[in-house]
Amino acid sequence: MPEKQNDEKKSTDIYQLLLEASEKQRRQKRAELLKSVGVEDLFEEGRIRVDMKTCKGVECKLCIKVCPTNALYWRAGEIGVTEELCIYCTSCVLYCMVDDCIVVERKRPNGERERFGKPLDISSLWERLNTRKRIDAVKMIL
Q: What is the mean pLDDT of residues 21-36?
A: 77
Question: Is pTM beyond 0.85 here?
Answer: no
* Residue 46 predicted with pLDDT over 70: yes
Q: How far apart are CA 2 and CA 6, in angstroms?
A: 6
Q: 27 burial class (0-12, 13-18, 19+ CB within 10 angstroms)?
A: middle
Give the percent of the chain with pLDDT over 70: 92
pLDDT of residue 35: 76
* Residue 74 predicted with pLDDT over 70: yes
Reference 88, options 55, 130, 56, 49; nearest CA is: 49
pLDDT of residue 10: 59
Over residues 86-98, the pLDDT tens digits come to: 889 899 999 999 9
Mean pLDDT of the chain: 84
- What residue spans of 54-90 are helical by DSSP H? 62-66
pLDDT of residue 57: 75
